[in-house]
């Protein structure tokens, strides 16, 4: 089993920045890829960014490309999401997720087995 714990959420004004962290513990060797998802109130969960933990290749949703950066520190079993130029549409619960294998869609929630509890991000105008 892998446990994922997110942190770093909060409230920020439009144009501001936040950095989310996701710390993994337990059977971390069972995770090859990690991703960030978000779920705005009343909407479906959507993939934001993903990263391969071995090579570090990254994948982004169009809506965050150029504003968000996903990175990892394998020595700390931690993945980060640096979020810049935030706008109210970024308001959501943000979740960290992990999966073992590569696949066709790194931003599909169905492909991920391990999930954290989420951290709230609120952006005010």
Model confidence at 1, in pLDDT bands (50, 70, 90)? confident
Nearest one of 117, 123, 108, 121 to 6, comparing CA atoms: 117
Answer yes or no: are the C-beta atoms of 77 and 28 closer than 8 Å. yes
| Length of the chain measured in residues | 125
Give the residue-averaged pLDDT of 63-83: 96
Model confidence at 60, in pLDDT bands (50, 70, 90)? very high
pLDDT digits (tens, 9 = 90+) for 95-123: 999 999 888 899 999 999 999 999 999 99
Say yes or no to pLDDT of 27 above 90: no
pLDDT of residue 11: 98
Model confidence at 85, in pLDDT bands (50, 70, 90)? very high
Model confidence at 37, in pLDDT bands (50, 70, 90)? very high
Tokens read off for 76: 């700390």
Give the residue-averaged pLDDT of 68-73: 97
């Amino acid at each position: 089993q892998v446990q994922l714990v997110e942190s770093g959420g909060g409230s920020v004004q439009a144009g501001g920045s936040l950095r989310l962290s996701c710390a993994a513990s337990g059977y971390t060797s069972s995770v090859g890829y990690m991703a960030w998802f978000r779920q705005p109130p009343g909407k479906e969960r959507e993939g934001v960014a993903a990263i391969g933990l071995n090579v570090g290749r990254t994948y982004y949703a169009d809506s965050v490309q150029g504003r968000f950066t996903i990175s990892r520190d394998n020595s700390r079993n931690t993945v980060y999401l640096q979020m810049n130029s935030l706008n109210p549409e970024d308001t959501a619960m943000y979740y960290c997720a992990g999966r073992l294998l590569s696949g066709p869609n790194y931003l599909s929630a169905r492909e991920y087995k391990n999930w954290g509890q989420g951290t709230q991000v609120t952006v005010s105008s």
